[in-house]
Structure 1
Amino acid sequence: MSTPEQYDAIIIGSGEAGKYLAWHLGTQGKKVANIEDKRIGGACPNIACLPSKNVIHSAKVASFFQRGAEFGIVHGDWHVNMEAVSARRQRMIDGLRDVHLANYAKSKAEIVMGFGRFVAPQTVEVALNAGGTRTLRSDYIFLDTGSRATIDPVPGLAESAPMTHIELLELTTLPEHLLILGGGFIGLELAQAMRRFGSNVTIIERNPTLVHREDSDVTEALHQLFTDEGIDIVTNASVTYVEGTSGKSVIVHLSDGASLEGTHLLVATGRTPNTQNMGLDLAGIKTTPSGHFQVNDRLETTAPGVWAMGDCAGSPHFTHISFDDFRIIRDNLAEPNAAGASRTTTNRQIPSVTFTDPELAHVGLTENDAKKQGIAYRLGKIPMAAALRTRTLDETRGFMKVLIGSGDRILGFTAIGPGVGELLPVIQLAMSANLPYTAVHNLILTHPTLSEGFINLFNTIPKQQA
């Protein structure tokens, strides 16, 4: 082994947590190496969050053309140009890559393109993409290696060359009939988009409902939405084998003897952490049974001086949670740590938005959660039509609901409606500040906005019994 190059910090992976930590430490004058084997900036700006929302918005525009008469708009023949949809997505990605490169240059953090693996404690060898190797050493090593789409060991599935979200977002031709394995959030977002572009779409879900962990009113609303848009849904479906090739002709066979045939196959059944082939045993880094790096609530691994962040650490698979992982590590590294304070992952808020149309937004407890945990709550709920802004948009599908606990504190909030993700921060602020719901209820809320719906929502909360 060659003499290692010494760094103040080594970060493997340039996803949300990794890149922000690299930029932060670099601007402090630290000598930082950020190792990335595929895409600068990680999945979110290149192949996941932002590109998918870019394509989803194009599909929203397509839906407006389909609904033109509803808004009094007369238009002639129109069609979807998937090459142009893909080109728009790529323009955004190219611009984001320039932003990332500028941030690396400004912070003086070094980006090292290659695959990093441990060859000894605190020592990483990088197989460079351009050829050759480099050996780096540091007392501070941070892992942000992300996750990838899971391909279940179903006979014939891997051989059918199914698409993941990566390949689907890069399509320049429209699938005639898209089969989707998985009725979770990724599958739903992409199913609706491709249907609005003009594909026939069938969702194949192993559980009894779509997004099966959600409350029943949420799953019912999404099922009705997708049925209304002409998407076929098959639930309680156990896949026994797959034959054919995605992009040509593919057949999915089910345990009940039924079979579904399409031209393309998308797999969206879960995520697998990228923790393999990294020489972890040489560094004393343990993984969990699910394959994630084993970490404590400060995101420290089982090896001294090594932390893990984001998907690979088992954190909830959201970019904003990965960013919070960065903030936890950043603040805990700060010297001195004020009054011995320590930031942890314990009891932090996990907000989420599913970018179907309408959106599904959530933070805090669901009704299912509260019932399982034996937590008493009062429920407030209104149809989205009670927020008058939705009537001006002709987007009245959905509802808002809120769970209220003792002391009038907000336990959880869920909404299905247009742009409801933007409603989360005010609820999160009230929850994090331990304010009663009346702090929001008594605000003067602008008319007509979606947030004005909070007034009607909180009006429906039953009075607390004495």
Structure 2
Amino acid sequence: MVDRENAFHLNAYKESGAELIMGSGHFVAPRTIEVALNDAGVRLLSGEQVVVNVGSHAAMPDIAGLAAARPISHIEALELDNLPPHLIVFGGGYTGIEMAQAYRRFGSRVTIIEPGRQLMGREDADVAGETQSILADEGVDVVLNAEPLSVRGVSGDAVAVTIRTGGSEGMVEGSDLLVATGRLANTADIGAREAGIALDARGFIRVNTRLETSAAGVWAIGECAGSPQFTHVSVDDFRIVRDNMAGGNRSTDDRIIPHVMFTDPPLARVGLSEQEARRRGIAARVATLPTRNVLRTEATDETRGFVKVLVSADDDSILGFTMIGSEAGEVMARCRPRCWPGCLT
């Protein structure tokens, strides 16, 4: 599958007539990039417009002994050729939960360590609670409000994680350690200062709503620009930059981003969550429907979860849609509501 995807993109470059240069590059001056070519040699490139799309990598928290323990990220988790007897997962976000459920179903014992008060901190409490209940029923242990203090051992052999919960310390012992605590932009070595590109405190490129950086003629898209970390968002970033380069005035302000967590059952959401609406001071009505009340689920016996719709208190426009349940992503994609501030799909 990966080979087919690579071939597709390489062929697209070839057919477009664009020159594709394979190598490692960094800015040496404004809109000027030095590239160490993969097949030897160096090239100096400059242009009137430059788009930076260098992506991100898994973050490694500053925890005593963690780096020495050689933990895996989601990348290595997809490449393991052995089954961890007990996988410890740092982080209860989308990636951590997806990996936790998958390895539990493969047969591993799994423990999630989450520093926050709930899984998936960006989601509503009822959504996080339902997800935790599904994981618990499958035998995944979840430890909330747990601050990792130190790590001993080596992942793949034996690891012991000391955590603090509720003022007391404890230890979680396992065989493998997966870190899923977020991502950092790949901007450390791109020569941002030489290019006049400002970064924020976390190393992400500062952009305005048009995706322009602080350097004239330089744009940034995707995860390195702090955009939501979904492939379809990066594609939309491209559309915004393309149109703005052509004289348009596209913005990231008015887009509504659907997303799915690929668990079983999946979680799908588009628009505002209930907590986001409350934080923005937007008055809303909330309607929920247990998935088991949908007759089709009685036939498929996939009754876990619920549907939740956020409706404006001023009119009947839909502010947000969330679903945990079978085919949630497909249900979201088929929505055709009248909504705020534009069509959800």
TM range (shorter): over 0.9
Matched, 1:99 2:8: yes
- What are the residue-to-residue correspondences of 1:38-437 with 2, within 5 Å? 92-255=1-164, 256-334=168-246, 337=247, 341-405=248-312, 406-427=314-335, 430-431=338-339
Quick check: 1:409–1:434 contact (8 Å CA) kept in 2? no
In 2, Cα distance between the equivalents of 1:147 and 1:107?
27
C-alpha deviation, 1:287, in angstroms:
0.7
Tell me which residue corresponds to 1:17. none
Q: Is the 8 A contact 2:26 2:33 kept in 1?
A: yes
- Pairwise CA distance, 1:412: 0.8
The aligned length equals: 340
Please tell me whether the aligned partners of residues 57 and 183 of structure 2 are also in contact (alpha carbons under 8 angstroms).
Answer: yes
Separation in 2, partners of 1:430, 1:169: 40
1:274 Cα shift? 0.8
**SS of residue paired to 1:258:** strand
Q: Which amino acid aligns with 1:402?
A: V
- Aligned mates of 2:19, 2:139 — CA distance in 1: 49
Residues in 2 aligned to 1:154 and 1:433: alpha-carbon distance in whole angstroms? 42
**Aligned counterparts of 1:433 and 1:210: Cα–Cα separation in 2:** 28
SS in 2 for 1:238: strand
TM superposition shift of 1:263: 0.9
| 8 A contact 2:71–2:178 mirrored in 1 | yes
Conservation of the 8 A alpha-carbon contact between 1:163 and 1:246: yes
> What SS does the corresponding residue of 2:146 show, helix, strand or coil?
coil
CA shift, 1:117, in A, is 0.5
Percent identical residues: 49
Contact 1:379 1:401 survives alignment (8 Å):
yes
Using the alignment, how far apart are the partners of 1:433 and 1:259 within structure 2?
A: 48
- Structure 2: which amino acid aligns with 1:351? P
- Provide the rounded CA distance (Å) in 2 between the counterparts of 1:430 and 1:424: 14
TM-score normalized by the length of structure 1: 0.71
Q: Distance in 2 between matches of 1:364 and 1:413?
A: 6
Equivalent residue letter for 2:99:
L
Residues 433 and 265 (structure 1), Cα distance of their counterparts in 2 relative to 1, 3 Å cut? closer
Which 4+ stretches in 1 moved above 4 angstroms?
432-435
2:33 and 2:342 map into 1 onto residues whose CA distance is 45
Q: State how far apart, in whole Å, the 2-side matches of 1:395 and 1:240 are.
A: 39
Aligned to 1:86: none
1:426 Cα offset (Å): 4.0
* 1:51 alignment counterpart: none
Matched position secondary structure for 1:408: coil
**TM-score normalised by L of structure 2:** 0.95
Q: Shift of the alpha carbon at 1:401?
A: 1.1
Distance 1:144 1:429 in 2: 34
Q: Which runs of 5+ in 1 are unaligned?
A: 1-91, 438-466
> Is contact 1:179-1:204 (8 Å) kept?
yes
- Partner secondary structure for residue 161 of structure 2: strand
Give 1:209 shift: 1.3
Matched residue type, 2:265? P
- In proportion to residue count, which structure has more strand? 2
Mean Cα displacement is larger for which, 308-317 or 96-105? Answer: 96-105
For residue 146 of structure 1, report the CA deviation from its aligned partner: 0.6
**CA RMSD for the aligned pairs?**
1.6
Q: Is residue 121–residue 283 contact of structure 1 (8 Å, CA) maintained in 2?
A: yes
Tell me, what secondary structure is at the counterpart of 2:315?
A: helix
* Residue of structure 2 in register with 1:12 after alignment: none
CA distance in 2, matches of 1:428, 1:133: 52
Distance 1:131 1:199, change over 3 A: same
The answer on whether the counterparts of 1:384 and 1:397 sit within 8 Å (CA) in structure 2 is: yes
Distance in 2, Cα, partners of 1:280 & 1:257:
42
| Pairwise CA distance, 1:433 | 7.7
What per-residue deviation string (whole Å, max 9, x for no partner) do you get for residues 346-370 of structure 1?
Answer: 1310211111111111111111112
- The aligned amino acid for 2:286 is L
**Contact map agreement 2:319 2:340 (CA 8 A) in 1:** no
Q: CA deviation at 1:136?
A: 0.9
Write 1 or 2 for the structure with the bigger share of helix: 1
Alpha-carbon distance, 1:129 to partner: 2.8
Letter in 2 for 1:193: A
